[in-house]
Structure 1
Amino acid sequence: MQIFTSLSSYLQNLPLKKKMMTLITTLFLFFCIVMLVCTSILCNAYNQELYQSYSSQMTKVASGIQASMENIEDTSFSILSNTVIQKNLSKLNSMDINAPENLQTSANCLSEIYKTLHSIVSSLTIIRAIGFDINGRSLTRGLFYPNHLDMDNLNEKAIALKGVAFWYPEQSETYRLYCIREIREINYLKLRNLATLYIEVNFFTLVTDALKNAGYQDNENNLFLLTDGAEIIYSSKDISGSASLQDPSFILDLTENNRSYVIRTIDHRKKFIAVGNIPATGWNYIYLSDYNTIFSAVTFAQSICLLVFFLTTLSAVLGSSCILGHIIWHFRILETKMNRFGTGDLTPLQVPYDYTQRQDEIGHLHVQFDQMVLHFKELVNDNYVKQILLQETQIQALQQQMNPHFLYNTLDSICWMAQKDHDEQICTMAQSLANLFRASITDSKELIPIRSELQFLDSYIQIQKLRFEERLDFKQQISEQYMNIMIPRLCIQPLVENAIHHAMEDNPEVCTIQLEMLRKNDVYQIQVMNTGSFFEEHLLEKLLNGKIVPSGIGIGLSNIDKRFKLIYGEAFGLTLSNKNGMAVVALTLPVS
């Protein structure tokens, strides 16, 4: 895990060009490995197909050998069941064939037997010789040499098998193969032993015919071997010059490791070797085919592929290096721009390239960054101008702060003179006007408690009551629990002023104005309701959309709505409605 973390950290800190080069090189190496694996898989598939082809041919050879041996067994049965042979063997068995008086009789019997054998086996070219053993005396036809055989043991085995044929290989200077079986007397089912039949098979012809019938092509590139254990009993060509094939351990290694095929170097050449078994005899076959040409072609193809991949990888790395170097150059320029921007230098960097003409990501990055710097420069300039204007405004405000003192002193003088003349109305009006003026000028906070807003409203109502007297019926019904809630300053007084303006200016009737506050779920609602007027449908929307040009009080309503939306969000603000014969203005603000 620590090695992986270190490697990951190293790769992350590599320059972009080296990262891309590492990625490209890794991908090409991966493809090279995949190519080698695919080549190996194809070679194995080809070898398997080659083995299937050879195995099919060798299966035919094995079947041909087994069929020929079964044919010999059938022929031996025809011999032992032939009536002429049975009759003459019975005569020979019942006489002393060595006695002089029986020589002519035995010669006649043998002549009849041989004539009959000729008609039975004349078509079988693989039979080399036929012999009979009668009471320890061998009677032969063909090149049959019983002196090479252990006749006593073979006769005992034939008698023990009770007429069932068996095969016996004689491993002397040449490999000889015999089919042996007991002949019993069939007449009257006596089943007494008459003789032991020996059929010597021409082993070389047997195997050669099987190879020919299976389509085996005997040429310098192919070699077929039959082995009995570690001994080679048949070879399709001379192998005396091959040290490997003369080595019994090499033969055993091929036949006893349960491998269907191997590729070995024999006499300095690659050989494809298919190995199999002939179950009927227990022999193993070894089929060798020249693989040197194929191996050389495969090796050459792999070398060419590796060379092509190497050259392709080298070309790709060099080409990618050039392309990445060009791309990195553009990023270096962008990095320089960013460093200049970080130091506060907003002057455009002069580069010998027009990025506005590029439509790729690099062009977009440069154009967007240049636009951002330009926009930032404009914001800085605008902010600088605004700061200058703000300073001028502050200076003007400081200069004008002396003027309200003169107005306050004047209003206090009017109030003092009215008190001297016992004119309470003028005194109250002057004092209320002074309070209104002081609250609107001196309080700079945006949010104030409702209590402070109602104090300001109370001064305004006192002035209006002096004007309208009993015609104004104002009811303030806000509970004490809401008095400390913060609201934007001067937001309730304009609503009350709007109600007085529209309900009392041209109406001589008494006007009732109610101020309430309530909570609905997570929303506070301040309501100003008045009699004597009503709101036009969708009035606020028309004021905001410009369908009705606001003036005077209308401007105040739209300003209050905008202030609430800026402070609390678009879901809050002003609503206008008519309810129970009263015009209702409602302000909504969140509880939290």
Structure 2
Amino acid sequence: MWNKITSGMFSKLMSALQFYRNISIKKKLLLVLYIQILLPLIFIGFFSFKSSEEIITNKSISYSKDILSLIELRLQDTVRNLNIISQDLRSNENIYQALINDYNNNINKLNNYEVASQLNNVFLKAAITRNEIESICIVSNSKRFFTFDNNNDTDGSNIKSVVKQNYTQIRESVAASNGKAVWFFNSRNGMVQNAYLIRMIYHKDTYKEIGLLVVQINMEFLDSVLQGLESEVMQNTTILSSDNEVILYKNKAAMDKYEQVIKKIPYDKDSFVDKKNNIFVAYTTLSEPNWRIVTYIPLNQLYYDVGELRNRIIMLCVVSILILSIVSIFMSFDMIKPINQLVKAMKGMNIDNISDSYIEIERRDELGFLHKTFNNMTKEIDHLVTWIYREQITRKEAEIKALQSQINPHFLFNTLESINWMAQLNNVPEISETVSDLSTLMEASIGRDDRLITIEEEFIYIDKYIALLKRRFEDRLTLIKEVDPKVLYLKIPRLLIQPLIENAVYHGVESSRGKGIISLTARIKGELMVIEVIDNGNGISADDLIKLNKGLDMDNDTYFKSLSSKKNKSIGIDNVNRRIKLFYGEKYGIKIESKLNIYTKVSVTLPAQIYNKEGFYVQSTNN
């Protein structure tokens, strides 16, 4: 598994390296410049952003702790003062006496008004002197209510209505507090409407419960705990009860938006970042009562300065890219353009226009040195090509002359042999016609005027040659021609096909006792002209056929080097094949097919074009 992963990574690395090698120098320079500038900018920007974010987070945590500590101190002072007020009220002699009388059933209708009036004075005095108090309520064991209420609401939220409605719950919570003050909240949809401090009042002698003291807290006074603590960092503060009821808050919209987040605070952290809701939260918990003070701020506000830094880094990158692009354009004109000129000159240089590849030198740096070196190299190549080209031409002409000189004596010998046969056997005037045909062929063989002739002219020579041969073979020799009219005006070297007919006669018809038939076809096949000479002679064995085709496939250099070691030098087909390759190129030439005692087919492949260009074919060695 590890080997596969390593192999895959290596393959990708090699592909990336190959891609880099294949792109242009201009793109390489741009890539290097961008990497050298943008990568440091990105790394510096990234680490600056993260460092700033961390610094701001740490400062926010420290600042939030300070704010939370201050709020905690204020709340503790407020709760302590409220505890003292409730303790004073619980110890008030008038309140205590009224509860004792009710406990002993000593309050009747006559003195009930007097007791209520006394207690009302006590409540009024306490409410006037302490801004923390909104309303006060005393409830005896017999559920007799003595109240002072500044809340004039008629919606059932006054202190007497709230206590009556929740009396059982309130009494149970106070009874379980072991004499401590208990907080009770009148809430709606998780939002505290009114807060109450409740204490149990006990009999001084028997320590039995004789009544309840309920003090409604002024919410505006409680809200003053959060006043004066606004800041850009910590502007949203909420105080939650032990039951996650919202007692106080600074920002209603923010509290509504993030209520579910601040009510599900993990108890193992005093601050954290909620990435899901993009908010920073810090909190602390009061020891008594068990309230939580939560302060929070959205990350987009907390990291506003960091965002500005990020935007500046992005702008810096954009400006850097623009500057780099301008620099790259300048470099493309100053450096890449001369390189492209050199590349273009090298691509356009060929054997016909070497001297035209000269580059103007306009600089003296390394690129100027390359241009100067290229110009010198061009001059040297032009000089060498001129001489070597001429040398090769001379060599080809000499080789062709050597080949042609082999054909003429061979052809002349066979023709004279035919005349000799006719002279011995017939002794008739037909010899004149034979000599006339022979002279025509001799003229074609040694002619110096046109180096190329049309297929039509070549076939006229073949007809003359067959006429000569028929005087020897009579009815034993038949020539069948199938010629596409399109090929008649295509030009080929003189006497290129005649040796193939001669070869078919002397190696096919002459060695056979039957009637000899030679087929001559010429047609266009794609971009090629194909000429085929087929005879019905004895054919060629498979081994000899392989050797013949192998020799025909040789390139010119190999062929001429092998001439000195050849014992049996072929005159006809071999020489024609070599002339074709020298004149048209290595990919053209002759191919032989044969079946023993059935047929032999010689196929000539030439380019199918009207060849007007003067060639290097030399017909004769006559001077």
Structure of greater relative contact order (alpha carbons < 8 Å, 6+ residues apart) = 2
TM superposition score normalised by structure 2: 0.44
